[in-house]
Amino acid sequence: MTSPWKGKNIVFGNWKMALDLNAAQTLATNILAGEAKVDSAKACLGVCPSSLHLSAIRELLSGSKGTLLGSQNAHWEESGAYTGENSWKQLKDFDCAFTLVGHSERRHGLFESHSLVSQRALGCLENGLAVVFCCGETLEERESGKMLEVLQEQFEPLLSSWNSDFSEMFIIAYEPVWAIGTGKVATLEEIQEAHRSLQELWKSKTSEECPPILYGGSVKPDNFAEILALDEVNGALVGGASLKADSFLALAEIASQ
């Protein structure tokens, strides 16, 4: 299977729990209306609405020339007694092309462990649902020189069960926790250092080429071009700036150049 983002710049919007149904539908409609400006040969777009809105947004995106539907999280089992969860199978039924796992708001806000996040990712990958695996350190961890150690710990349970069949279905999102939703974007040097460390970690553990790495954390139209110009960056996972069609499409246009 070849991924729809292969060789392209990726811009995925994470709508979190920010929008009601009406606002989510308006946003999707406006993204579709502006999509013509985006070169789909160069940029791959995706949006992750609330799971309650997947059906409505899927219907709107059926008219899209390529914007992918994604989930914000996924459970590793096909079905079962897991109150409040959505299985990879249920997400595939809604044509989700990928799911996020391990977003910092789940790791740090809801205490999801590295092994739980890895279990989510592996269950999806084993069943053909692509994964955007979020990782990143807190400010305290960075300031105490533990960035690399933390990234290694976050990947450890996943990489110990890695299978090369998963490669085309996997994307990494490096999101330093202190840059998410704070307006405090990491410097280009910090992004480069973290992405290079991830590439080295990947090669040393799997002997494979590293999958695409997105940067996330206060990405906006006015800082994205220079971030994307870094060789180590393959796109962005975007929160706040993905909630307005104008700014999301401006990011998409930068990714198209």
Binding interface with ligand PGA (CB under 6 A): 14, 175, 180-181, 216-219, 237-241
In the complex with ligand PGA, which residue's Cβ is closer, 14 or 118?
Answer: 14
Nearest distance, CB of residue 252 and ligand PGA, angstroms: 15
Instruction: Tell the smallest beta-carbon distance from residue 250 to ligand PGA (Å).
Output: 14
Is 103 in the active site? yes
The Cα-based distances of 74 to 118, 195, 236 in angstroms read 11, 25, 20
Between residues 63 and 181, which has the closer beta carbon with respect to ligand PGA?
A: 181
| Catalytic site residue from 105, 112, 141, 175 | 175
In the complex, the smallest distance separating the C-beta of residue 111 from ligand PGA, rounded to whole angstroms, is: 17
Toward ligand PGA, which CB reaches closer, 89 or 220? 220
Within 8 A by CB and 6+ apart from 30, the residues are 245
In 10 A of CB 18, how many CB atoms? 15
For ligand PGA, give the closer residue by CB, 70 or 211.
70
The angle subtended at Cα 161 by Cα 95 and Cα 49, nearest 5°, is 25
Is residue 108 flagged as an active site residue? no
Query: Catalytic pick from 53, 103, 112, 137?
Result: 103
- What is the smallest separation between the CB atom of 154 and ligand PGA, expressed in angstroms? 15
Q: Would you say the C-alpha torsion 55, 52, 170, 185 has a positive or negative sign?
A: positive
114 versus 220: smaller Cβ distance to ligand PGA: 220
Task: State the minimum distance, in angstroms, from the CB of residue 180 to ligand PGA.
Answer: 4
Q: Which residues are catalytic?
A: 103, 175
